Amino acid sequence: MKRKLILDVDTGIDDAIGIILAVKSRQFEILGITTVNGNVSLESATQNTCKVLHLLDEEDIPVIKGANAPLLRNSYFEHAVHGQDGLGGALLDAPIKKQPDEGFAPDFMINSILSFSGEVTLVLTGPLTNLALALKKCPEIVHHVKEVIFMGGVVQGPGNVTPTAEYNVYVDPEAAKLVLDAGFASLTQVGLDVTRKALLTDEHISRIENGELREFVDQSTADYRKRYFERNRVSGCAMHDPLAVAVALNKNLVTTEKYYCDVEMKSELCDGQLVCDIQERLGKRTNLQVCTTVLVEEFFDMFLSIVNS
Ligand code: BDR
Ligand code: CA
């Protein structure tokens, strides 16, 4: 039996590649893809998600719109990384055949989790606003969800928006805190510590056999790779969100440590930083499974074999 999955995205170049990985893996029954304001507006993230499903010829997968702003803060778009449209211009002229489905993402999450108690895996690759809204409305979902995996934060290393903060946590730190404090039995963070190691290179792209998908990955990541080189002096770009999907597919790709983590929300320099109590100085109960190492070659082997299947 396939595992039931809700994928929450702010599509986004790497979200799009994460969607491709999740859909093409055929390992999940995808109950729905929920969208959130993040890299781009809610409208653009939703439209991009529909375009990616059209590219995959999988337009029957429901797409449900969620929050159009962070819980308390203003939007903070990432056009510099993802382009004006969010997909680096790759599907600009693609026909918009699929429309989003009815409903509101947090309600969709609640209903799905309660209807299939103990069966639903949530993978979140954008700011955590939708899940936070679901938790506010129905806190008991924590006892009914199978597991939650999110891409966000960095534990040991620099941020990618500010010197200390990673984008998804930075955009909606109040939401991230609600998720961390909710009491999930299985909450896994896939942060920059590991995603920065999963660098997609020209060589990986050349190994994608399907012409349309190769062209999409090549075009959508072209500027992203250029920018990554300018900033980091490495050829490639980080597959942040696809790695979160990959962890849902195979936990053995990473090693994890359990820590107590919290989010800084009122600091001039460290706002939106995920703070991890590695040395247990606060004496609090652990709340987060943190990915600490990743098998990069195995990840790309899996990625390419799924995309080429
Ligand atoms: C995260 O931020 C977004 O720009 C990416 O889509 C990814 O989810 C990486 O920090
Ligand atoms: Ca994302």
- Cα R_g (the chain), whole angstroms: 18
Partners of 149 in the beta sheet? Answer: 123, 188
Whether the Cβ atoms of residue 159 and residue 273 lie closer than 8 Å to each other: yes
Which amino acid is present at 108? F
Instruction: Tell how far the Cα of 282 is from the centroid of ligand 2, in angstroms.
Output: 31
From first CA to last CA, the distance across the chain in angstroms is 20
What was the pLDDT predicted at 217? Answer: 98
Mutating to test ligand 1, I would choose from 11, 78, 193 the residue with most ligand atoms within 8 A of its C-beta, which is 78
- Phi/psi of residue 60, each to 5°? -80, -15
* Protein residues within 5 Å, CB atom, of ion ligand 2: 10, 12, 15, 125-126, 241
Whether the Cβ atoms of residue 165 and residue 273 lie closer than 8 Å to each other: yes
Domain count, the chain: 1
CA distance 70 to 52: 24
What was the pLDDT predicted at 232? Answer: 84
> Minimum-distance ligand to the CA of 190?
1
Range of the domain at 299: 3-307
The DSSP output letter for 31 is E
> Minimum-distance ligand to the CA of 239?
1
Which of the residues are catalytic? 10
What's the mean per-residue pLDDT of the chain? 97
Give the CATH number, domain containing residue 165: 3.90.245.10
Instruction: Give the residue-averaged pLDDT of 16-36.
Output: 98
What was the pLDDT predicted at 231? Answer: 85
Instruction: Give the residue-averaged pLDDT of 182-207.
Output: 97
Residue 127 has pLDDT above 90, yes or no: yes
pLDDT in tens, 108-125: 999 999 999 999 999 999
269, with CB counted inside 10 A (0-12, 13-18, 19+), is: exposed
Q: Which of 66, 37, 287, 34 is nearest to 177 (CA)?
A: 287
Q: Which residues line ligand 1 (CB under 6 A)?
A: 12, 14-15, 39, 78, 81, 125-126, 151, 160, 166-168, 240-241
CA distance 124 to 159: 19
Residue 234 has pLDDT above 90, yes or no: no
Instruction: Tell how far the Cα of 19 is from the centroid of ligand 2, in angstroms.
Output: 11
Instruction: Give the pairing type, strands 28-35 and 3-9.
Output: parallel
Residue 235 has pLDDT above 90, yes or no: no
Q: Which atom of ligand 1 is nearest to the CA of 39?
A: 4
Mutating to test ligand 1, I would choose from 7, 8, 14 the residue with most ligand atoms within 8 A of its C-beta, which is 14
pTM: 0.98
> Minimum-distance ligand to the CA of 37?
2
Which amino acid is present at 79? H
To which residue do tokens 């896994």 refer?
A: 188
Instruction: Give the residue-averaged pLDDT of 283-299.
Output: 98
